[in-house]
A and B are shown apart, each in its own frame.
Chain A
Amino acid sequence: MEFALSADQRQFQESLDRTLERLSPLSRVRRFADETEPVARDVWRGLADLGAAAVLIPEAHGGLGLTLLDAALVAEALGRFAAPSPFLGSAVLAPLALLQGSDAQQARWLPKLAAGEAIAGVAIAEAVAGARDGGGVTASGGKLNGKALFVIDAAEADLFIVADTARALHLVDGGAAGLTRIPLASIDLTRRLGELRFEDTPAEPLDARPDGLQRLRDAGWAMLAADALGACDAMLAKAVAYAQERQQFGRAIGSFQAVKHLCAEMAAEIEPARSLVWYAAYALSEGLDDGPLAAAHAKAHLSEIGRFVARTATEVHGGMGITDLLGLHYWFKRIGLDRQLLGGPERVRHLAAVMQGFA
């Protein structure tokens, strides 16, 4: 029995942190946010060189064949640096969908995704979290019609994974006829969301398992939880550093209990949540019975803790916390998107109750 990261995993974490320190410092995050550049290619290339794009892809397709826990470590690191990257769509959800597809579909896309050469968008929001504003895609005779909102990593995607209203998964080429992409501006300036419109758009069905969509949902929940966890870590670290440095009344504000207790409360919430996120990713990888439940709880719990940490860490920074100068808001907003994407906490908790036969 060992509930801990392996030596390899700790080393992977360190490499990710070092690479992101270099490729995605605050100045780079700021530039991505300000210039509405669709994809931070340099950041993604650097991450792909580390294997971040290839984590879940089998070795036969040029991937690393690692687990969702390894993927969660990437998500956590991305959250820690508020790094712009198409990781969730291209390296987690699309590979998990394609692995349920035919050999030809896998052979066509997985090697490119593993190398970070292709980017995949994922349109499953309606099927997972419920449709808004008339969203929903219908499939008939190899064509898709309708619209999909809150599409993950939609900008410049070379392929799309799309769930229809019957919860079946489809593969759509990025250049397909009758496909329109509309960017959706969100509070989170570090990731891009989009809307897709389909008008008789040709699509290949994925020969997905009956629980194919659910597997994407569960993995997505675990990754968003891990992203929020990393963002919480960063916000706490910044709050602690600020409390040590900022002087008022002739002493560091971190020596006042009113301030240090806020920091302690954040740490006390974050640390057990880390254990929950690791377990969820591990349990999904191992196919344990409580994997989906753990993923749901990780998603909902990190949403609640994330809101608390985002607000509290900002407050510790005093007035500077709400300025653009410090850039703390990138993490604040990142946590905000992690909370709502693929279902807000109330919806996810409802689904957790359904899984256990409580509702």
Chain B
Amino acid sequence: MDLTLSPDYEAFRDEVRAFLDAHRGDYPTAMGVERPRADILAWQNLLIEHGYAARTVPTEYGGHGAEPDVLKSRIIAEEFTRARAPGGLAGQGISMLVPTLLEVGSEEQKRRWIEPTLKGEIVWCQGYSEPGAGSDLAALKTRATEDGEDFLINGQKIWTSTAHAADMIFCLVRTEPDAPKHAGISYLLFPMTTPGIEVRPLKTMTGHSEFNEVFFTDVRVPKTSVVGGRGQGWFVANATLKHERGMLGDPNAAEQRLQAIIALMREETVGGERLMANPVLRDRLMRLQARVMAMKFNGMRTLTSAMTGAPAGMAALVVKLQGCELNHQLAAFAIDILGELGVLYEDSPHLRAHGSWQQRYMFDLGLIIGGGTAQIQKNIIAERGLGLPREPKPASDAVMRGAA
């Protein structure tokens, strides 16, 4: 155990700080998830140039080309948070497609897609879930039938965030209907402007449309759009899901929320008494603080495993489940301390923090469900982590013949 940083890393931290100080005037105001504006694109390019975005992506594909160093990545994240500077673009193209292409893409696919994606010139959406294929993703039914040199795609995707703004989609479709369930899927890349694609916004309980439904009717896509080989889509997608689960449940987000709640409890009064003076609320705050600390140190433990190449084991398996739950609990507590103010919404007078706690409380429930539900996470922890037996599977699962 040694939580001090070596001089090399301290120097690296100083370097990041100096960069952030020097460019304070260049921070774009809101990064958003939609199509990036010119100032955001300029910021992204600056970050890539300095190695604060696309850090380990090879230079021939438009990245910075640094050796992987998880500690340096952590220092960058910490310093950007401290300076309240927006980090690099983090859309699904950058966070999920790029790592997947690097792992299993063809040379041509890497050269064609990675650089413009990193630079924010191409925005992607992810076509995985379907109305009938959520936790059981491999049951997906969107069909790609052969038609000469092309596939004709028919079916429906759901939970497709950014679909309305995206140029391209990375999409799972069933290309081999006679193959066993997991072996009949291919991973395709195609433009969202292809005829036959319809995007409908999906309004959620927050009152906003963070997601979409996407409908495909005879969408013609060349067979060369497959990543990682026909019938290999399930394995290609699993490489990507790993990246998503690591992203959800970030301990820095919980730490920031806790600090915001502490500030709120010190400032807000009810009946003339500061919220922090209420012993019951303080007790709840302390319970949450213990959990935030536990997740923070757990994050340092998994970081150390990543640095040394040791298996992170259970410490990593529980992050999605516990991290998403904790973020939701923090938002719930913030609403409770606000009381009636905590149910105001939209543009109401007296609203605190622009209603962000209310929005998070509702949106975060979606994060507990999305990216592998809490119940699926528990199966993973029990089966992979504890070695408990799998649920027996019905025999009818084996082949998806006639699925569409």
Is A166 located at the chain interface by the 8 A CB criterion?
Answer: no
- Rounded to whole Å, the gap between the CB of B109 and the closest CB of chain A is 36
How many of chain A's residues have a CB under 8 angstroms from any CB in B?
47
A69 to B2: give the CA distance in the assembly, Å: 12
CB atoms of A272 and B295 under 8 A apart: yes
Q: Is A265 an interface residue (CB 8 A)?
A: yes
- Asked whether A2 lies within 8 Å of B304 as measured between CB atoms, the reply is yes
With A257-B375, A261-B375, A301-B294 known to touch, is A267 a contact of B285 (CB < 8 Å)? no
| CB <8 Å contact, A243 and B388 | yes
| Of B1, B285, B291, B293, most A-chain CB atoms within 10 Å | B1
Contact A3 B304 (CB under 8 A): yes
Contact A1 B318 (CB under 8 A): no
CB distance from A259 to the nearest CB of B (A): 8
Bound complex: CA of A300 vs CA of B301, how far in Å? 21
Does A228 sit at the interface, judged by CB under 8 A?
Answer: no
Would you call B379 and A275 a contact (CB within 8 A)? no
A300 to B285 alpha-carbon distance, docked (Å): 13
> How close is B240's CB to chain A, nearest CB, in angstroms?
24
Bound CA–CA A5/B6 (angstroms): 18
* 9 nearest A-B residue pairs (beta carbon): A264-B378, A275-B297, A349-B286, A297-B290, A260-B382, A3-B300, A272-B294, A301-B290, A264-B381
- Report A275-286 CB contacts with B as 1/0, cut-off 8 Å: 110110010000
Within 8 A of B (CB), among A291-313: 294, 297-298, 300-301, 304
Give the contacts of B268-300 with A (CB-CB under 8 A): 276-277, 279, 282-283, 285-287, 289-291, 293-295, 297-298, 300
Known A2-B1, A272-B318: A260·B294 in contact at CB below 8 Å = no
- In the complex, the chain A residue whose C-beta lies closest to that of B314 is A271
CB distance from B36 to the nearest CB of A (A): 33
Task: From known contacts A1-B5, A267-B385, infer whether A358 and B276 are also in contact, taking CB-CB under 8 Å.
Answer: yes
- Can you list 13 residue pairs at the A/B interface with Cβ under 8 Å? A1-B4, A1-B6, A1-B71, A2-B1, A264-B379, A264-B382, A267-B314, A267-B385, A269-B322, A272-B297, A275-B298, A276-B294, A301-B287
C-alpha spacing A350/B285, complex, angstroms: 10
- In the assembled complex, the CB of A302 is this many whole angstroms from the nearest CB of chain B, namely 9
Q: Which of B79-87, B119-127, B389-397 contacts A (4 or more CB under 8 A)?
A: B389-397
With A260-B382, A272-B295 as contacts: A3 and B318 at CB distance below 8 Å: no
Dominant SS at the B interface?
helix
CB proximity of B379 to chain A, nearest CB, Å: 7
Asked, given contacts A2-B2, A346-B283, whether A273 binds B294 with beta carbons under 8 Å apart, the answer is yes
Does B19 sit at the interface, judged by CB under 8 A?
A: no
Which stretch (A104-112, A248-256, A333-341) binds chain B?
A248-256
Residue of A6, A236, A263, A267 with most partner-chain B CB within 10 A: A267
Residue of B at shortest CB range from A349? B286
Is there an interface contact between B301 and A252, defined as CB atoms closer than 8 Å? no
8 Å CB contact of B392 from A251, A269, A272, A353: A251
Q: Any chain B CB within 8 A of the CB of A60?
A: no
Contact B1 A352 (CB under 8 A): no
Which of A268, A273, A282, A294 has the most B CB atoms < 10 Å from its CB?
A268
Of B294, B304, B375, B389, which is within 8 A of A252 by CB?
B389
Which residue of the partner chain, among A5, A257, A279, A352, contacts B297 with CB atoms under 8 Å?
A279
With A3-B301, A240-B388 already in contact, the answer to whether A276 and B293 are too (CB < 8 A) is yes
CA distance A243 to B279 in the complex (A): 41
Residues of chain B with a CB closer than 8 A to A263's CB: 382, 386, 388
Contacts of B314 in A (CB 8 A): 267, 271
Q: With the chains together, A285 CA to B274 CA distance in Å?
A: 36
Q: Find out whether the CB atom of A271 lies under 8 angstroms from the CB atom of B290.
A: no
> How far in angstroms is the closest Cβ of chain B from A228?
13
Give the contacting residue for B301; candidates A243, A254, A275; CB below 8 A.
Answer: A275
Contacting residues, chain B, for A325 (C-beta < 8 A)? none
With a cutoff of 8 Å between Cβ atoms, the chain A residues found around residue B381 in the complex are 264, 267-268
A43 to B315 CA separation, bound complex (whole angstroms): 32
Chain B residue contacts of A256, Cβ below 8 A = 391
A353 touches B290 (CB 8 A): no
Within 8 A of B (CB), among A160-178: none
Cα distance A2–B78 in the bound complex, in angstroms: 17
Q: Is A11 an interface residue (CB 8 A)?
A: no
Within 8 Å of chain A (Cβ to Cβ): is B3? yes
CB proximity of B125 to chain A, nearest CB, Å: 31
Q: Are B289 and A352 in contact (CB under 8 A)?
A: yes
Given contacts A1-B9, A275-B315, contact A264 B304 (CB under 8 A): no
Question: Closest chain A residue to B325 by CB distance?
Answer: A268
Complex-state Cα separation, A305 to B308, whole angstroms: 30
Question: How near does chain B come to A144, taking the closest CB pair, in angstroms?
Answer: 34
Q: Check if B301 sits within 8 Å of A4, measured CB to CB.
A: yes
B387 with A265: CB separation less than 8 A: no
Given contacts A3-B303, A297-B294, 4 further A-B contacts (CB under 8 A): A236-B386, A268-B318, A272-B315, A301-B290
Query: Judging by beta carbons under 8 Å apart, are B1 and A278 in contact?
Result: yes
Interface centre among A273, A279, A304, A350, by most B CB within 10 Å? A279
* B400 at the binding interface (Cβ < 8 Å): no
**A3-B300, A268-B322, A275-B315 are known contacts. Are A260 and B289 too (CB-CB below 8 A)?**
no
B154 to chain A, nearest CB (A): 34
Residue among B3, B277, B293 with the highest chain A CB neighbour number at 10 A: B293
- Say yes or no: B304 contacts A254, CB within 8 Å: no
Tell me if B321 counts as interface (CB < 8 A to partner A).
yes
In this complex, what residue of B is CB-closest to A265?
A: B378
Interface check B356, CB cutoff 8 A: no
> Are the C-beta atoms of B304 and A271 separated by less than 8 Å?
no
Q: Are A275 and B382 in contact (CB under 8 A)?
A: no
By a CB distance below 8 angstroms, the chain A residues around B282 are 349-350, 353, 358-359
**A244: CB under 8 A from chain B?**
yes
Most A CB atoms within 10 A — which of B262, B285, B386?
Answer: B386
Task: Tell me which of A2, A251, A298, A346 has the highest count of chain B C-beta atoms within 10 A of its own C-beta.
Answer: A2
Query: Chain A nearest CB: distance from B177 CB in Å?
Result: 30
Residues of B within 8 A of A261 (CB): 375, 378-379, 382
Contact A244 B389 (CB under 8 A): yes
A301-B296 Cα distance, complex, nearest whole Å: 14
- Asked if B305 is at the interface (CB within 8 A of a chain A CB), the reply is yes
Flag if A3 contacts B283 (CB, 8 Å): no
Residues in A neighbouring B39, C-beta threshold 8 A: none
A255 is contacted by which of B276, B295, B388 (Cβ under 8 Å)?
Answer: B388
Chain A residues positioned under 8 Å from B315 (CB to CB) = 271-272, 274-275
